[in-house]
Every structure is written in structure tokens, then in C-alpha cells.
Structure 1
Amino acid sequence: MELISTADIDAAAPRVAELAVRTPLLPCPWARGRLWLKPENLQPVGAFKVRGAANALALLPEEARRAGVVTHSSGNHGQALAYAARAHGVRCVVVCPDNAPAVKVAAMRSFGAEVVPVPPAERARRAAAIAAERGMTPVPPFDHRDVIAGQGTVGAEILADLPDVDTVLVPVGGGGLAAGVATAVKARRPGAAVVGVEPELAADAAESLAKGRLVAWPTEQTQKTVADGVRVGPSALTFAHLRERLDGIVTVGEEEIVAAMGVLARAARVVAEPSGAITTAAYLAGRTPGGRTVAVVSGGNAAPDLLARAVAGEEGRTEGVGEAEGTDTGSGNGSL
């Protein structure tokens, strides 16, 4: 299976720049100067997904544009594809799980998408059926080379801003972001560790890497995590990238995820949804290699009630968090 290259990511950069924000690295003095955040929550759709959607839509042939595009998504990719489709004058249908956060469903509709709610286990099949019935082009959330290349621009920007980075922490769900970031970082700084982070309740990628083959967890299991953006597992394409280029995966618990949302809001003034907070959760738990670390905050489309609960929670550890670097302070270790 052919993997994407840094040339694919470099070629995607100008197409991505037409619709995505060039996010900065935010230093975190409360983490003893060892942590930076890559705040993809600042994107126009509140998540990194706009990068992959922008690249895929820009490369879509004219005939396919006229027919429109369809995808399945828990929300962030759906928003991103709808946003990019509107910019290119393309019709867009998003099949989403019927338990998707209302804030994400509303955003998809606000960008002009037709939203089709279905039971979580049915979304991929329903999207395929709509594509066949209407002649629309499927643009999946991660199982697509152009999407992965677009997401890889996150890694290229990290290296441009912090060339001597030691560790990059990236959320893993379907694996498109991790695949792209690992490609960009490992090609230009092989000594840096690119580490994926998953919830304990949806750690199918960690198990897959440990066993050397794809392992699919049942939907009824992965739906239990609060991190709705990473409830899906990798595809054969993204797993091939992760197996070749990722340095490992660590996992975090549900309370750790919500606590990290609170720390990010209070200490960094960053709004993160659960999926976007899992990298910081891993750092705070001391499960990462250490050194100069960048945590990718993949999105900020948090449900208001959950965000309020996280911010109002007990004060997170915002002083001396670097003391635990490279150590295991609790359960939930992955394959690192």
C-alpha cells in the first residue's frame, strides 16, 4: 500500500491555506516551559478537519463537483466538508450518528449541509448508499490520501515553528491526522517522537499496533467515551501509516480527559472538546516521552454543558506538571 509523502503534504499546503487558518504554537508557562499547544480549535470550523476537506475538495474534478459530495462524520469532518463545499459551490450531504453533539449538527447545517442522522453503526453504509443513489462523490473523514495529506500540514507547521521539537502528541481516532502529522514530522526530524493518544474506552488503534493487525472494537464499546471525535478506528490505509511512522500510542481515562479540558480553559484560555483535550491529558498524566512537547488540540467544538462542568471542576495541576515527564503515573498506558 502506497503511503503519502512529504511531497504530498507540501503540495497540499497552498490549497489548505485557501480555507484554513495557519495556527500558532502557544507556549504553556504553567508546564515549566516544556509544552506548546497547536490550537486547531481556532480553525473556521473549530477543528483541524478543514485542512483535509480543503485539499480533497480542491482536487475534485469538475464533473464530481457538479454531482456533489457525501460523507459520514460525528461532526467535525462533516462541518469541514460542508464549509469547503460551500466555498467551492458544491452540494454536500453528511450522514451522522443520531447521538452526535447537537452543537456539531447545528454547525453542519449552518454551512449548508444536508444532515442525515442514523444509528452510529449504520453511518458508513448509509453514506455509501447515498453516494450510489445520487451519484455523489464520497469524501471519507480519514480513509483518503488527499485528506491525510491535508491533515499533514499540521505537522509541517509544527516543525516550522519549533524545529527542535522532541515529542508531538496527536489524537488518534480514524488515524488521518496522526498519519499526516507523523509523515511530516518523521521525514524532517526522525529523532522526534510522534505519539498517538486514545481514550481507554476506544483504544482500538493501540490494540491494533500491539498486535500488528487491524482490530475493530464494537461500536457499542467505543460510543462509551466522552471523546466523540475519536470513537472510530483506523482504516487499512491509515493503519499502514501508523504502523510505519508512529512511535506508539498511550491511552487516557474519562476523568483525565474532562480534567484536561478544564486545565486548558483555565490555564491556557483554550476551549477544547474532549477529543482535542486527550493529548494534554496524556501530558498531564506523565505518559509521554518528555522534552520539548507539542500537544495538538484537534478541536474545540465542545458541548456547552460539558465544557461548563470541566471548567468548574477541581483545579487541575497547572504547576510543576513537567516533573512527571516520561513516567507512568497511573493506568491507561498504550503501546509506547
Structure 2
Amino acid sequence: MIGVGEIEAAAELIAGHVVRTPTVPSPGLSDLLGVPVTVKLEMLQRTGSFKARGATAKLLGLGEAERAAGVVAVSGGNHAIAVAVMAAALDVKATVVMPRSAPARAVEIAESAGAAVRLADTVDAAFALMERLQGEGMTVVHPFDDPDVIAGQGTVGLELAEDAGELTDVLVSIGGGGLISGVAAALRARRPGVRVWGVETEGAETMSAALAAQGPVPVALSSIVSTLSPPAVSQLTYEHVSALVNEVLVVSDAEAVQGVLDLAEHAKAWTEPAAGCLLPAARRVLDRVGDGARLGLVLCGANAAPATVTAQAAHFGLH
């Protein structure tokens, strides 16, 4: 289990390389939900998502031989962008493997940052190619199954604990579970009374499936939210979530896209469906915990093109 000491060390390590993103009250969301809401604006992070934190923590910990051999990462979008951009900033050669379903914009950004981009037909094939390149000598910068990466992502929780007012409940999106593992570890140490809730989308319920099976299991992916769609969580993230997180909630793709529109209108914040899913989940949390709640939402990223979200909204008949 990752402890707060490792997260504090990661915070010191990456401090000169990433942004301490704003943690601010949201009057618009407070009015919408009827309780005080604080937002952690990770979409203002370098590379447009929290992923820069874990990638930087991992890259700064490499030895000389590892730096020379280069790194490889697999990603549906945000992790690829983070590894590509931060590796370039730290003068490390990077290859990123992405499924063909990844957003075209994410591929373009990774390539323009100087990374070698390899496309695979499926998410499973992308992970297999990453493992092959690892066998050829590259160091894997895993999107979530790595203690250094989780400690880096946990700095989000450390900042939230230090910068937010009183909170009763914090909501965090789950893909592979690296962000919520680190955030929950930080909050359990710094604000032990706060409840932590995970959020997934239907068709990307990898953590929910792991909790039901008491360990990671592969899941058939069908969610449009590619950034929340690993083939399975890891044993490491499963153990953190099962020990530290109150519950994992599942919302539909349509609700996640509506959440993007609502966050834009009410919070004045542009996000992606991986963050939009928090808003419908927040309503369910309020149904569970009742009056007196003070919510914290980790708005994890914003690497969705407006045209893409507009098309998704039209597909679901949203306005």
C-alpha cells in the first residue's frame, strides 16, 4: 500500500515540473446540487490532465541506463500525452502505444511532442505490444500499475487536503484506479473522516468487477469514454480501492456526456466525459448521505475536443 510519506516525497520530486492546480469553491455547482461543492481543477495541469503527475514521478526516478533505453507507455489518450510531453521535457526517449480507438487529437499531441506513436487494433493488443517492447529493454511507464505513478497521482489528494475547506465526500473517476488509489491514500492520512467515492461508466466497469470478484478480472469494454477503459484494473489498485474507498458508482455514457455540458454551464469548466461522470454520481452520493454534505470533485482532465463532445451529445439526444 502506498503511504502518505511516499506521496509527500513524490510531491517534492515533481514540484518544479507540474502545476499545483487550483482548488476552489464552485458557486454554480453548489447552486445546482444544493450543497457546498469544491472542485480540484486538474484539467489545468500540464498536458490537460492529472496524468502528468504520475508520469513525471516515474520519469524522474529512472536510472541512467533506463533513460538511455527509453520508456514505453500504453494509453487511450491522457497518459500517452503526459508521457510524451513530460519525457520530452526531461530529455527521455518515449514510445507510446495507443489503440486505434484513441482520440485523433491525443495521437497528434503525442506525436508532436516527439514520442514514437504505435497504434494497435484493440486495447488488449496495445497492452501486448507494450509488454513486447518492455521485453526489448524499454522501461514501462504504466498508467496505473506502478507505486511511483500512484504516489505521483496521490499528490492531487495531498493538495486537495491542504487547500480545500471542510469536506465530507470526495468523488474521483476510475479508469485503471491509479488516481483514486493515490488520492484515497492521501485523504485517509490527512482527512481520515472524509468518504471517498469512485465513479466508472457502464461498459468500463473494471473496478466494480474486481470488487465483485475479489480481484482483478478482464472486462468487455463498450464505453465511449476511452480514458476510463483499461482491460482490467491491477492487483495494486484493487487493493487500495477495496481498502480505502467507500463505494464505486457506475453511470451511463449519456450521463457522463451530460455531465460535461453541465460542468461547462454551471462550473464554467471545460472537461471530458471522464470528469463529467462525477456530476451524476454526485447526485447519487447526496441521495445516500443526505443533508450536511460538502462535496469535493476531482475534475481529472479536459482532453476532449468540443466537436467530439458535441457529436456525442447529439448521439444521445442531449442539449
Which whole-Å CA distance do the structure 1 matches of 2:115 and 2:164 have between them? 37
Is 1:127 aligned to residue 125 of structure 2? no
RMSD across aligned C-alpha pairs, in angstroms? 1.8
CA contact (8 A) 1:9 1:149 kept: yes
Is 1:5 aligned to residue 8 of structure 2? no
Q: Which residue of 2 aligns with 1:24?
A: 22
Which whole-Å CA distance do the structure 2 matches of 1:109 and 1:42 have between them? 21
CA contact (8 A) 1:262 1:310 kept: no
Structure 1 residues 189 and 196: alpha-carbon distance in aligned structure 2, compared to 1, 3 A threshold: same
Which whole-Å CA distance do the structure 2 matches of 1:151 and 1:112 have between them? 24
Judge which range, 154-163 or 142-151, deviates more.
154-163
Amino acid at match of 1:131: Q
SS across alignment from 1:157: helix
Q: Which residue of 2 aligns with 1:253?
A: 252
Pick the aligned partner of 2:195 from 181, 193, 215. 193
CA contact (8 A) 1:159 1:185 kept: yes
SS across alignment from 1:215: coil
Structure 2 residues not aligned, in runs of 5+: none
SS across alignment from 1:238: helix
Shift of 1:43: 1.2
| Identical amino acids, percent of aligned pairs | 39
CA contact (8 A) 2:78 2:106 kept: yes
Which whole-Å CA distance do the structure 2 matches of 1:151 and 1:115 have between them? 24
Pick the aligned partner of 2:180 from 178, 181, 205. 178
Shift of 1:167: 0.7
Amino acid at match of 1:132: G
Aligned pair count reads 308
Alignment of 1:252-331 (within 5 A): 252-285=251-284, 286=286, 289=289, 291-309=293-311
Shift of 1:271: 1.1
Please report the TM-score for the alignment, with normalisation by the length of structure 1: 0.87
Pick the aligned partner of 2:13 from 8, 12, 15. 15
CA contact (8 A) 1:250 1:287 kept: no
Shift of 1:303: 2.9
Shift of 1:128: 1.3
Q: Which residue of 2 aligns with 1:319?
A: none
Shift of 1:314: 5.4
Structure 1 residues 123 and 287: alpha-carbon distance in aligned structure 2, compared to 1, 3 A threshold: farther
Q: Which residue of 2 aligns with 1:158?
A: 160
Q: Which residue of 2 aligns with 1:244?
A: 243
Alignment of 1:51-130 (within 5 A): 51-120=53-122, 121-130=124-133
CA contact (8 A) 2:184 2:196 kept: yes
Alignment of 1:32-51 (within 5 A): 32=31, 34-51=36-53
Amino acid at match of 1:195: W
Structure 1 residues not aligned, in runs of 5+: 316-336
SS across alignment from 1:241: helix
Structure 1 residues 308 and 153: alpha-carbon distance in aligned structure 2, compared to 1, 3 A threshold: same
CA contact (8 A) 1:228 1:274 kept: no
Please report the TM-score for the alignment, with normalisation by the length of structure 2: 0.91
Judge which range, 273-282 or 305-314, deviates more.
305-314
Amino acid at match of 2:60: A
Deviation digits for residues 155-194 of structure 1, max 9, x if unmatched?
0111101252111100011000010000000112221101
Amino acid at match of 2:263: L
CA contact (8 A) 1:259 1:310 kept: no
Shift of 1:284: 4.0
CA contact (8 A) 1:169 1:295 kept: yes
Structure 1 residues 273 and 23: alpha-carbon distance in aligned structure 2, compared to 1, 3 A threshold: same
Shift of 1:60: 0.6
Q: Which residue of 2 aligns with 1:326?
A: none
